Amino acid sequence: MANPNEGDEPADTPADRSAERAAAAEASADIDADASGGDALQSPTDSDESAVDDGTERDPSDGPSAVAAVGDPDIEDVLGENRRLDSRVQILWIARRLVPALILGGVAGFLAFRFDAVADTATAAGVGAAVFALVMVYGTVRAVLLYRSWRYVVRDDSLYLTRGVFTIVQTIVPYVRVQHIDTRRSAFERALGLASLVVYTAGSRGADVTIPGLTPERAEKLQSRLKRLAIESEDEDAV
């Protein structure tokens, strides 16, 4: 008798089906991993290209500063440097106190004698001398402190000044606002070998800045440098 099961293929068992599903799932995971790996390799390249593009972008309107445009090595050497005045300017400031001190001393002695505050002229003269000495001491101390506070700086786009004893004054003069620049030497300044630089700016009346206590050579050099910077800044502003 023939076997009834002969010629039939064996039926799949549950264990075989589970193994096939696991193999299919593993193959799908490998394909996803390969795809994600390709994306990961591509992403840094895209990121690097965007970073390079961002780094090379520049504003075409950017231009050199007035100092760079002038191209004077002497200006570049003093650029940003705190410059002080000549120490002889203290003598000039003290000397300017002499006349007011004499006047105040004389008035004080006269009033003391006139209103019988003292017994004789010698005492009145002593009062006047004391007032004169006080004024001169005050003037001397103030001159020393003012000298120590005075600074000026030649910057890229402006002239910066700071000074003061009781009140510190800081002034910024943009080169584009400079109208003209003068050097000045009074009789006292000529006697001490000093000069002053006066920078006139656009604005209301009296809108000028004075730098005292300069040697004539430094005043002339500074005048020439500021003039060139002002002309260059005006040309850039017009453009």
Provide the residue ranges of all domains of the chain, joining segments of one domain with +.
71-238
125 burial via Cβ count (<10 Å: 0-12, 13-18, 19+): middle
pLDDT at residue 234 is higher than 60: yes
> CB 110: neighbour CB atoms within 10 A?
13
pLDDT at residue 63 is higher than 70: no
Tell me the backbone φ, ψ of residue 15, rounded to 5 degrees. -65, -40
Instruction: Using pLDDT thresholds of 50, 70 and 90, give the confidence band for residue 204.
Output: low
Query: Which pLDDT score, from 0 to 100, does residue 46 have?
Result: 44
Q: What would the pLDDT profile of 170-196 be if each residue is shown by its tens digit?
A: 999 999 999 999 999 999 999 999 999
Q: Name which residue leads in pLDDT, 121 or 196.
A: 196
Share of the chain above pLDDT 70, in %: 64
Amino acid identity of 70?
V
54 by DSSP, 3-state: which?
helix
Mean pLDDT on 100-108: 95
Structure tokens at 194: 């000093």
Give dist(CA 65, CA 13) in Å, integer: 86
Nearest CA-CA partner of 223 in 201, 193, 198, 202: 198
Angstrom CA distances, 216 to 22, 39, 106, 182, stand at 97, 73, 37, 12
> CB 69: neighbour CB atoms within 10 A?
15
Is residue 107 within 8 A of residue 132, CB to CB? The reply is no
- Only one residue has tokens 């209103």, namely 115
Query: Which pLDDT score, from 0 to 100, does residue 164 have?
Result: 95
Note the pTM of the prediction, 2 decimals.
0.65
When mean pLDDT is compared across 53-67, 136-150, 209-223, the lowest value belongs to 53-67
- Only one residue has tokens 């002969």, namely 6
Angstrom CA distances, 53 to 48, 50, 59, 103, stand at 9, 5, 13, 75
Give dist(CA 119, CA 109) in Å, integer: 12
Query: Which pLDDT score, from 0 to 100, does residue 68 have?
Result: 57
Give dist(CA 222, CA 197) in Å, integer: 8
Nearest CA-CA partner of 112 in 128, 99, 96, 91: 128
> CB 223: neighbour CB atoms within 10 A?
19
When mean pLDDT is compared across 38-42, 120-124, 151-155, 173-177, the lowest value belongs to 38-42
